[in-house]
Amino acid sequence: MEKKFGKAKTDKVERRALKVASTTMKYALKSGVSGYRDTGKTVGEVTASKPRRKAGKLSVKVGWQGGGSRWRLVHLNEWGYTRNGKTYHPRGLGAVQKTFDATKDEAKRLQIFVLKNELWKG
Residue 110 CA from chain centroid, whole number: 13
Cα→Cα distances 52→5, 10, 55, Å: 21, 14, 10
54-107 pLDDT, tens digit each: 998 999 999 998 877 788 888 898 999 999 999 999 888 999 999 999 999 999
H helices then E strands: how many in the chain? Answer: 5, 6
Residue burial 104-122, b: 16+ Cβ < 10 Å; e: rest = eeebeebbeebbeebeeee
Domain count, the chain: 1
In the prediction, which pLDDT does 122 show? 46
Provide the pLDDT confidence category of residue 47 given band limits of 50, 70 and 90: very high
pTM: 0.84
User: Which structural domain, as residue segments, surrounds residue 59?
Assistant: 2-119
Task: Calculate what percentage of the chain has a pLDDT beyond 90.
Answer: 61
Q: Supply the pLDDT for residue 36.
A: 80
